[in-house]
Each structure stands twice: as C-alpha cells, then as structure tokens.
Structure 1
Amino acid sequence: MDDSSSMQDPILATEDDDGFRPLRTVPAFSIHLLISSCISVAGVVLAATWEDSCRCEAYFIMLYLRAAFWLLTYLFDHFVKNRHENLRLDGYHEFHRAIAYHKTVPLQIVSLWNTFLLAVQALIQHYYGDNFAEKCAVAGLFVPIVYITMFCSLETLVLCFVHGSYIAKVVHFNRAAAPPDALQGSRGHSGGSLGLTQRGLSTAELLEKQADLISYLKDHNLKLNQKIMQMNAQVRTVTFPG
C-alpha cells in the first residue's frame, strides 16, 4: 500500500529522498562573527592594559591573530560553499542564486582587510626602519596597536551586517521548508518558478534556470528508475520464490 501511494508522486517519493533538508550554515556564520568580535575585544584589551614598553608585542600578537583568522575564514568559506552546493543539488536553484554573493563576502572582506594591514605594515617598516620599536612603544592614538584594533573593530561591524543579513535569509528559508523549484508550480507555491512565465529575465538567465532544473529532474528520474527496478526485483522474488 505504501509503494502504490508513493508512486502517485514519483519524484518526491524516492528511496533516497528524506524530504526537506535545511541549510545548516547559521552556526558557522555565528561562530565566524563571534571569533571576529573576540579578536576586536582582544585588541581593545591589549591597547588599554599593556604598558607602553609592551605595545610592540601587543601589535605583533594582533598580526598573528589576523593571520590565523584569515586561515579560519578560508576553511569557513570552503565549508559554506560545500553546503551551498548541496542546496543546489537538492533543487533550490532560486535561493542558491539569491545567496550566492553572501557566501563569498566573508573571505573577500577578511582578505581585503589583511591586504590593507600588510600594506600599512610595509609603509611603517619602510619609513621607521630600525626606529620601529621606539615608534610603536609610545603612547598615542595612531600607534600600531591602536590603529589595528580600530581596523579590526570596523571589520567586525561590517561582518555584523553581512552575516546578519545572511542568517535572516537562511532562517526564513529553513522555516518555509518549501519544495524544490521544479515542484513549486504544481503545488501552489510561487507560480512560474520554471522561468517560462517570469518577466524581466534575460535569455542567459532563463537558459541558466532551465539548465539547473533539467539537471535536477534528471537526478530525480534516475532515482525513480532505481526505485522501479528495486520494486520489480521484489515482485519477481514474491512471484517466483526460491
């Protein structure tokens, strides 16, 4: 009875299809933002509490933290891209395109910030030369430990807006638990999701949407064929035992 009912909607009821799978990237984005905030707080603590004679050491600690944060962001970027690729394979091409830019922004921001810090460090070392230790050990607003802390705080503020926007979209997507794009038109969801009736689409966008959906339907057709073969094998086993 279960097999006959599942055949009424063959694409949805494949053996390997466990229903809607939420996009689980919110914890990763939250942790990434938390680490960025911790680095900013560490900079404030170092700049406010360490003595002038230790300001150079504090500055280099921040540089090491920046290097480690970039490496962490690189791994974070790889993890998020993998999750987004799974989302695309599940048939959610519209949402995949809607958040495609968000997944690349964190690595771009951190890389841009580190590039700027590298350029500033090169200028400082070029102009100060052997007097660098003396210059960074004095008190002031624009000594290295203070400027790098201000820069990290600005980066954290930018990441708050970027990550907050992304997290809000993903949470809304997970709560909606909508079917894949190819099935939405036939189930009363956003009509025209196949792109045939959507106005304002360029030819390139239309072809891209159709190619994605064709690929998705081919994957589900393969799963359906496998299901049919398994059912036929079970019928032959029952009809012709031993």
Structure 2
Amino acid sequence: MESQRTSVYGNNTNVDFTQSTDDDPLIDGPLVSQDAFESVIKREFQKLPTHWAVSVLSFLHVVYVALCIAIAVFCWISDEHTPECTAALQGFDSKTVVLLGKVALWVMVFIYDRFVQHHHGAVRRRGYLDFYRLTRGVKNLPLLIHSAGNALVLTVIAPSALLDARVKKLSLYLLLSIICLELLLSLICLLRYTVHVVKFNSKKPHPDVTEQERSLGCSSEAHTETGFRDGSSLEDVVEKQADLIDYLKQHNSVLSRRILTVTGQQIRA
C-alpha cells in the first residue's frame, strides 16, 4: 500500500511539474537573442531637445539689448528725436519700456529654465548620470545671472535721481552697462551648455551603467567610480550610488516587460 501511495504521489508530482512547465511560456519558450535586446536598447537613445531653446533665448536677449541701446541713444541721450520716440512708444516712458522688457525677458528665462530642468530630469532617469552632473551647474547659470541683473537694475533705478544729480545721466550708463554685461555672461553660459548638449547628442552614448559594463568587459583594469576612494567626496559618492540604484530599478522593470513581450512574440511566431 505504501509503495502504491508513493508511486501515486510521485506520478502526481510529475504531472503537476509537467503542467506547470507547459503553462509557463518563459521556461519552454525560445530563448531571446542578445541581438534583439541590443537593437531595442540602441533605439532607446533620445536626443536632448534643449539646444533650440538656447537659440531662441539668445536671440530674444540680443534683440532686447539692441532695443535698449536704440532707446537710450534716441530717447535718453539725445533730445532731438523726442517726438518720434513718444510716437513709437505710444506714449509710454522709455525707462518704463526698458524695465517692462527686462521683466518679460526674465519670465522667458524662467520658462527656459523649467524646460531645461524637465528634460535633464528625464536624462537622469534614463541613466545618463555623468552628463547630468556635468551640466548641473551651467544649465542653472542663466536664471541666476538674470536674477542678479534684475537686482542690480533695481539698485540703480531706485536712487537714479541722486546718481544723475552727481553725474549727468549716470544711471542710464550704469543701466546699459548692467544689461550688456548680463548679455555677455548669459551668452557665454549658453554657448558652453550648447557645446555639452551637441556633443552628447552626436555621441549618442549608452546609459552609464552599460558603458561601465562594456569597459569592464574590454579591460580588466577598468573600474567603476561608485565606491569611495581617496580624494573623492562622500556626498557625491552617496548621491551617485542612489542615482544608480534608482536607474537600475527602473531599467529592470522595463527589461522584464520587454522579456515578456519579445518572448510572447517569438512563441506566437
């Protein structure tokens, strides 16, 4: 009786195991080739579309500075074109027009900053952590420069009567100097940022983890920089490790869905 029970249990176990194996397409299904996943991963790269925003912002900034200089020359420095200036500005004071334009330009810079932050957050989530850190400082500089410029403009406009009493039209010259200096610094930062973005888009790199794995496979002396070493900042190391962990979680979930999709397609084929 015991031998019969054992044989029955053994047969049931085999049947259950066979049924579970047949029901699971991941076990009996065909293996997914490495080339299939590499081709999909290569299509993952998305160019960073912020360089055109840099061009638009730079153009608007140059136009604003050119208008400020034109208004200063024809409306402030010289009194010969006062009627023409009044007609062109539709009764608005020239200084008011310049200040309103400065506010509008700062709003454009703020919108640009939010746009860039959004796309760089997406780049960070896709695993390009080194590029994110490389451009983290330079991408924030235009908003800081314009904010500092607004503070300096207010500092000059508030005591303009006292400044002009000591030196004729001193406030005007200081205002133009601030606006031109702001343009120069902003263009330098935007140009530097554009170079980084163009290089990134042209190189089309894989995520940092994939690049590290390839370097480790090609050279036995290659090593990752996620550990703490002499001369490295502990805060940077911890931040990079946290970013890598977050990226790997997202990458694993996406990869699992792809395995199920590709395997199902091959089984149906």
For this structure pair, what is the TM-score category when the shorter chain's length is used for normalisation?
0.7 to 0.9
Distance 2:237 2:228 in 1: 10
**Distance change >3 Å, CA 198–CA 33, structure 1 → 2:** farther
TM score, norm. by length of structure 1:
0.79
Question: Is 1:117 aligned to residue 183 of structure 2?
Answer: no
Tell me which protein shows more helix as a share of its residues.
2
TM score, norm. by length of structure 2:
0.72
Distance 1:113 1:45 in 2: 20
Distance 1:192 1:36 in 2: 45
Match of 1:43 in 2: 68
CA contact (8 A) 2:69 2:176 kept: yes
What is the CA distance between 1:100 and its match in structure 2? Answer: 0.3
What is the CA distance between 1:71 and its match in structure 2? Answer: 0.8
Amino acid at match of 1:154: L
**Distance change >3 Å, CA 172–CA 199, structure 1 → 2:** farther
Unmatched 5+ residue regions in structure 2? 1-29, 87-91
Using the TM superposition, name which of 95-104 and 222-231 deviates more.
222-231
Unmatched 5+ residue regions in structure 1? 129-134
**Distance change >3 Å, CA 73–CA 102, structure 1 → 2:** same
Question: Is 1:151 aligned to residue 178 of structure 2?
Answer: yes
**Distance change >3 Å, CA 4–CA 197, structure 1 → 2:** farther
**Aligned partner of residue 74 in structure 1, secondary structure:** helix
Match of 2:195 in 1: 168
Amino acid at match of 1:4: V
Match of 1:27 in 2: 52
Amino acid at match of 1:69: L
CA contact (8 A) 1:37 1:153 kept: no
Distance 1:198 1:179 in 2: 25
Using the TM superposition, name which of 56-65 and 157-166 deviates more.
56-65
Percent identity over the alignment is 26
CA contact (8 A) 2:32 2:263 kept: no
Match of 1:227 in 2: 258
What is the CA distance between 1:78 and its match in structure 2? Answer: 0.5
Q: 1:142 aligns with which of 160, 166, 170?
A: 170
CA contact (8 A) 2:228 2:237 kept: no
CA contact (8 A) 1:184 1:193 kept: no
Match of 2:243 in 1: 212
Amino acid at match of 1:226: R
Match of 2:213 in 1: 186
Distance 2:204 2:262 in 1: 29
What is the CA distance between 1:141 and its match in structure 2? Answer: 5.2
**Distance change >3 Å, CA 98–CA 199, structure 1 → 2:** farther
Using the TM superposition, name which of 191-200 and 85-94 deviates more.
191-200
Using the TM superposition, name which of 76-85 and 207-216 deviates more.
207-216
What is the CA distance between 1:222 and its match in structure 2? Answer: 0.3
Q: Structure 1 segments of 4 or more deviating over 4 A? A: 6-10, 53-56, 231-236
Kindly name which structure, 1 or 2, has the bigger radius of gyration based on alpha carbons. 2
**Aligned partner of residue 68 in structure 2, secondary structure:** helix
Amino acid at match of 2:124: R
Number of residue pairs matched? Answer: 224
